[in-house]
Amino acid sequence: MVFLNRVDERRRLDALLREQEGALAVVYGRRRIGKTRLLTEWCNEYGGIYFVADESSATFQRRYFAEAIAQRLPGFADVEYRDWRGLFERLSQDALGAIFRGPIVIDELPYLVASAPELTSVLQQWLDHSARRAGLIVAVAGSSQQMMQGLVLDQSAPLFGRAAAFFEVKPLLPEYLPATFHTKAPQEILNLFTAWGGVPRYWELARHEKAATLDRVTDLVLDPRGVLHDEPLRLILEETPSAIEVRPLLDSIGCGAHRLSEIAARAGRPATSLSRPLERLRTMGLVSREVPFGENERGGKRSLYEITDPFVRCWYRVVAPQRGMLQTAPRNARKALLIRHWASLRGQAWEQLCRIMLTHGTRSDLRGPWRSVTRYWHGSEPEWDLVSLSDAASSLLLGECKAKNRPFKISELAQEAELIASKPFPRALIPGGSRLVRALFVPEVTPNAPKEIHGVKVCTLKDWFR
């Protein structure tokens, strides 16, 4: 698949090459998100060294690392390195002699640390002295977000404060879906996002399947022989250390429990014991916590938890509760199961897609830019799907998301817009002087549909994908 986006990430990495005394980058992000592709593209462009660790012993890891270095610094692998300190010292000496500054990438660093706990201290001393004198540009990366952040953000960690660049690789924006899957059809774009979210690895697998999205999901995910059938389980098992203890929480949220008390009841655990595992799911990029607009995020008594990734959400809604049935069911029964849940999944994905594009998009006719977009709910008061303040707090957006598998007719738009125009919002939450912008978000409309009805702006996918 063509290398997409990652402009900001490349800018951050390229800036390191201008550091004359060397620099360290720390890159993290959930699995399958494209960290390896980003770093290998960067390495290849500048003739760097790329090494990916695995679960081998420290002795074998040093041997494999030496062989990777030897491709750029010949002869480096001709000797056996008894410890990491000796390997790194030789690396800085040879690099200095060859006038080689890097980049040097160590991917999946948590695997190395697991096999050699002293490695972070060795790295710290090497970066502070020999690597600095040689002006080496070094990047370390890993999918275990808990461990990667602990290596850099924890004040007691050896690498604390040493990273010149520290960033998370996030999912691709939906605006890249049309070019990747060669479609401009709004309904298909929404289907694609509902199935695969913004994870490049899933896009890569799905685009090789010459079929409609529901058929792709049926064959890749619901079929026990499909390459993605066990994917969400691998995501938590491959964490370092394993995150298998969070599985019941994902099952609970996937089945419709969103409040802390509901999740605890479904999982059969005290609510007071869930803060750490829920936080781990958040750092893994699998679960998000949301508070209603206007409420302090630190309080969060009315917080709701959602599975963030559309693909993982689909798996826990459709596959997890029916794994036994899927083992023996014929293909048409599997697809029927998916269709039964698809409208609900599309509705959630459409709301999520609208939030992403409001925050990142530049082609919508709505005045922005907008701050983080959230929902509003409180007791029996009317709920709002999208609420956000503009950057200057001059406008407050109140939006509703509606999705159908066909274009909205003008009469349907008028009916929805009339409801939105009359729907109340608490005056106490409207900043003084702010202009209210009411909007209806739908994937597609019939030809010649107006852009505004009853004072409500009508926004479609074409406003972003042109």
70 by Cβ neighbours in 10 Å (0-12 / 13-18 / 19+) ranks as middle
Q: What is the pLDDT of residue 91?
A: 94
Q: Examine the pLDDT at 20 and tell me if it is beyond 90.
A: no
Q: What is the pLDDT of residue 143?
A: 75
CATH code of the domain made up of 7-168: 3.40.50.300
Highest mean pLDDT among 288-297, 313-322, 363-372: 313-322
Q: What is the mean pLDDT of residues 236-262?
A: 85
Q: In what order do the strands lie in the sheet with 23-28?
A: 49-52, 104-107, 137-142, 23-28, 165-168
Q: How would residue 298 be classed by pLDDT, with cut points 50, 70 and 90?
A: confident
Residues 6+ apart with CB under 8 A from 129: none
What's the pTM value of the predicted model, to 2 decimals? 0.89
Taking Cα atoms as reference points, which of 83, 139, 148 lies closest to residue 110? Answer: 148
Q: What is the pLDDT of residue 361?
A: 66
CA 138, chain centre distance (Å): 24
Type of residue numbered 270: P
Contact (CB, 8 A) for 218 and 42: no
Type of residue numbered 20: Q
Q: What is the pLDDT of residue 282?
A: 87
Considering the chain, what percentage of its residues have pLDDT values greater than 70?
A: 94
Taking only the tens place, the pLDDT of each residue in 99-128 is 999 899 999 888 888 888 888 888 888 988
Higher pLDDT, 154 or 306: 306
CATH code of the domain made up of 175-351: 1.10.10.10
**Tokens standing for residue 416:** 């929805």
Taking only the tens place, the pLDDT of each residue in 338-380 is 999 999 999 999 999 999 888 876 555 576 678 889 999 988 8
Q: What is the pLDDT of residue 142?
A: 83
Type of residue numbered 90: R
Taking Cα atoms as reference points, which of 390, 356, 345 lies closest to residue 464? Answer: 356
Taking only the tens place, the pLDDT of each residue in 253-266 is 998 899 999 999 99
**Tokens standing for residue 288:** 């998000």
Higher pLDDT, 206 or 55: 206
Q: What is the pLDDT of residue 153?
A: 64
Q: What is the mean pLDDT of residues 40-59?
A: 90
**Tokens standing for residue 433:** 């002087």
Taking only the tens place, the pLDDT of each residue in 202-219 is 999 998 777 899 999 999
Contact (CB, 8 A) for 53 and 109: yes
Burial 379-409 (b: 16+ CB within 10 A, else e): eeeeebbbbbbbeeeebbbbbbbbbbeebbe
Q: What is the mean pLDDT of residues 401-415?
A: 94
Type of residue numbered 237: L
CA distance 442 to 385: 12
Q: What is the mean pLDDT of residues 70-95?
A: 92
Taking Cα atoms as reference points, which of 199, 177, 180, 173 lies closest to residue 190? Answer: 177
**Tokens standing for residue 145:** 């977000």
Average pLDDT of the chain?
A: 88
Q: What is the mean pLDDT of residues 397-407?
A: 94
Q: What is the pLDDT of residue 463?
A: 81
Q: What is the pLDDT of residue 74?
A: 93
Question: Beta strands 137-142 and 23-28: pairing type?
Answer: parallel
Structural domain 361-463, CATH architecture: 3-Layer(aba) Sandwich (3.40)
Taking only the tens place, the pLDDT of each residue in 143-176 is 766 666 666 666 677 777 777 888 888 899 898 8
Higher pLDDT, 245 or 181: 181
Q: What is the pLDDT of residue 250?
A: 92
Burial 198-232 (b: 16+ CB within 10 A, else e): bbbbbbebbeeeeeebbebbbbbbbbeebebbebb
The region of weakest confidence among 39-48, 154-163, 263-272, 440-449 is: 154-163
Domain boundaries of the chain, sorted by first residue? 7-168, 175-351, 361-463
